[in-house]
Amino acid sequence: MNYRHGYHAGNFADVVKHIALVRILLHLRRKDAPFAVVDSHAGRGLYDLAGEQAGKTGEAKGGIARLMDMAGDLPESLAAYLALVKGSGGYPGSPLIAAKLLRPQDRLTAIEKHPEEAALLKQALAPFRNATVEQADGYARAAKLLPPPARRGLVLMDPPFEAAEEFAALAQAARTAHRKFATGLYLLWYPVKSAGDADRFLGEVIGGGVDKALRLDIAIAPGPGEGKLARAGLLVLNPPYGFADEMRAVAALLAPRLGRDGPADIRLDWLAGAE
């Protein structure tokens, strides 16, 4: 995948990833103690779904656009996510979602390697005094920020998968981060073009001594998917209590809306530990 996120913002994978992100941040907010968020591959923060990049792929039409009419008694994370999208003046990426959910005592470090994207990210996060943007290699810099002074927090790793060895790099970075901050929450995103590659990645991370891990997998079409991405996954380390149940409730509402030719297949499986 040659991945510039503007082409993919708001697609089915973003929807699921960002609802999971909101759920974790809402959990962290329940205690008064401060927490930190480290976003290793932050992107530009805000995306114009009517712009040139999003228009070329139209992926948001099969993702967030199908959810904007949802109303009523929705799970907390889904309702909060939709409110954030509607109030952002575009599609908010993970660092902007995090920044909007921080309290004064919390901190966000958003890391972006590409200079143009980092400059746009600084603009998007400028109103948030407790958010910092660093132009750096996300894997290396994230590890140096751990453990955070607050000893509570989330590490989000959502790399672009531009390189053939990205799965190996993500697995190594996750294992290194987990060794330094074993009590942290981790949200790791990955595309599924090959089930074998995804399974090897999951095995490498879990093999690093993780006690509690949940896999969330979404497929919007059968098969591994050729051309456009049709399947993606999230690996959640140390998911908070109730996370799996709420995401199952969310999945039941999203599945009929996100599939290409029928309902999407959204599954949650415990790979280590359980509630």
Query: Which residues are known catalytic residues?
Result: 158
Angle at 109 between CA 269 and CA 214, to 5 degrees: 5
Query: Among positive and negative, which fits the CA dihedral 51, 55, 58, 61?
Result: positive
- Rounded CA-CA distance 39/148 in Å is 13
- Residue type at 42? A
- Residue type at 200? R
Helix (H, G, I), strand (E, B) or coil at 2: coil
Q: Residue written as tokens 């994207």?
A: 117
Helix (H, G, I), strand (E, B) or coil at 224: coil
What does the radius of gyration of the chain's CA atoms come to, in whole angstroms? 17
| DSSP labels, 68-109 | TT--SS--HHHHHHHHHHHTTTSEE-HHHHHHHH--TT-EEE
